Amino acid sequence: MRLIFSLIAPNHHTRFRLIPAIVFFIFLGSTRLTFAQDQDPAQALELLNMAKEMRKASLAPNDIREIMVQAANLDTTNLEANFDAAWYHLSTIDRDRAEIYLMRIYRQRPTYRSDLEYYIGHSLQYGLKLDRAIEYYYLFRNKVAQGRTAYRGRITLAEIDKRIQECKNGLEFMAFPKDFKIENLGPEINSEFDDYGPSVSLEEDLVIFTSRRSDGNLNDKVYEKDNKPYEDIYFSKKN
């Protein structure tokens, strides 16, 4: 596997800040961080404020997500912490887990956000709970169609209809599964970092893909908003 060229050049005007891990361990040394599920609203508020400061500093969203999750679990009635925990899941990994935090909000105050049903549907869709996802998408669709949401222009009826159709397609595919298998192509192509955008040649003997791995990356710096390497394009030939 050889590097072809750099896709994104570093911003030479970027000023790099403390990496999230350093900030996180400094915090560990200055306060009590418990991983139990006992409710502690005061500590939850401390964590929420810390996560906000990290967000202002454009630090890694994965670290912010974990702090938001702790805050939400320490105070299940804190609607802001629970929504942020859900939002960061939907924006990073384990998108289906956003349902936990969104449903806490929905049970307590369904009017907390006028687009709450849309995000619930989105998380349920990622969790393959497609019937329920359709239900919440339709709840939100009705609000948009009747002009009862401030987010009408940002989330269009066409986008909602697309999500609903995706769920209906998914139900059909799951009802009549096909015989196929997904295989990992191995460590020479798949890495622990973000690998995506693959393109296969017509002869199926060449794969070109984007990766944010550090190995062989022409950019020796990291993107300040998530502390991951910049993107580069790689290719692999089949022997």
The residue to which tokens 């009802």 are assigned: 175
Dump pLDDT digits (tens) for 156-180.
Answer: 899 999 999 999 999 999 999 888 8
Query: Does residue 218 register a pLDDT over 50?
Result: yes
- Of 13-17, 129-133, 191-195, the one with minimum mean pLDDT is 13-17
Dump pLDDT digits (tens) for 74-83.
Answer: 999 999 999 9
The token pair that represents 217 in the structure block: 């990356």
Report DSSP state, residue 188.
T
Mean pLDDT score, 118-123: 97
The residue to which tokens 């995506």 are assigned: 196
Reported pTM = 0.68
CA distances from 62 to 46, 54, 76, 99 (A): 18, 11, 21, 18
DSSP three-state, residue 181: coil
What's the pLDDT at 100?
Answer: 97
Report DSSP state, residue 31.
S
Query: Does residue 141 register a pLDDT over 80?
Result: yes
